[in-house]
């Protein structure tokens, strides 16, 4: 593999893309968990609504 010209640029491009995509997925999943936990706390306190 290391004989391929410019392999460092190719690997770096794929790594940056993977990191950016994982960061986007991670941010959305973490936000979802935070929101559902907060809504569950409100529900447990009897402040939730039935629409959920």
Q: List interacting residues with other proteins (CB under 8 A).
A: 4-7, 9-10, 12-14, 16-17, 20-21, 23-25, 27-29, 31-32, 35-36, 38-39, 42, 45, 47-49, 51-52
Helix, strand, coil percentages for the chain (3-state, nearest 5): 75, 0, 25
| CA 14/CA 6 separation, integer angstroms | 13
| Residues 6 or more apart whose Cβ sits within 8 Å of residue 10 | 4
CB of 16 to other proteins, least distance (A): 5
Please report how close the Cβ of residue 17 comes to other proteins at its closest, in angstroms: 5
CB of 23 to other proteins, least distance (A): 7
């Amino acid at each position: 593999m290391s004989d391929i010209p410019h392999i460092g640029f190719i690997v770096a491009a794929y790594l940056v893309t993977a990191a950016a995509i994982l960061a986007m997925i991670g941010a959305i999943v973490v936000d979802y968990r935070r929101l559902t936990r907060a809504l569950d706390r409100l529900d447990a306190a009897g402040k939730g609504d039935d629409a959920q």
